[in-house]
Amino acid sequence: MLTRLRELRDLNGKLVLITGASSGLGKLVAYEVAARGANVVLCARNLKALRKVADKCKEISQTDAYVVELDVSDPDAIDRQLTHVLQDIGSVDILVNSAGFGIFVKGTRKM
């Protein structure tokens, strides 16, 4: 059981894609998985902020960190950038969705 837990915590060589990685929870998750040896693919709209997070991830993990400019409200951009990730970086082992969007319609919520 403990061995299995250790295996789950060890992310060496795993590719972890995180949306919303330029700040908040996504950024903190990026640092945490980098500390466990993961290669991270950091996605958000603000490239400058993403690059800063990537630099820190590299420092922590001593391995690669990639940045991908992505607006998750744009389905074409998701297709395009995921194709880029799969072709040029590798297949994703773990997906952390920390950015999302919702469509709120007034008056349709039942209490």
Ligand X SMILES: NC(=O)c1ccc[n+]([C@@H]2O[C@H](COP(=O)([O-])OP(=O)(O)OC[C@H]3O[C@@H](n4cnc5c(N)ncnc54)[C@H](OP(=O)(O)O)[C@@H]3O)[C@@H](O)[C@H]2O)c1
Residue 59 exposure: Cα atoms within 13 Å on the Cβ side: 7
45 counts as binding ligand X under rule CB under 6 A? yes
Mark the segment that binds ligand X (CB under 6 A) among 4-12, 31-39, 42-50, 81-89.
42-50
Of the candidate residues 11, 20, 30, 33, the single one contacting ligand X (CB under 6 A): 20
Distance CA 97, CA 88 (A): 21
CB atoms within 10 A of CB 4: 8
Mark the segment that binds ligand X (CB under 6 A) among 39-47, 54-62, 78-86, 88-96.
39-47
95 counts as binding ligand X under rule CB under 6 A? no
Distance CA 80, CA 104 (A): 27
Of 24 and 90, which has the nearer Cβ to ligand X?
24
Distance CA 53, CA 74 (A): 23
- What's the closest the beta carbon of residue 92 comes to ligand X, in angstroms? 16
Of the candidate residues 31, 37, 49, 52, the single one contacting ligand X (CB under 6 A): 49
81 counts as binding ligand X under rule CB under 6 A? no
How would you label 97-109 residue by residue, b for 16+ Cβ within 10 Å and e otherwise? ebbeeeeeeeeee
Mark the segment that binds ligand X (CB under 6 A) among 3-11, 33-41, 85-93, 94-102.
94-102
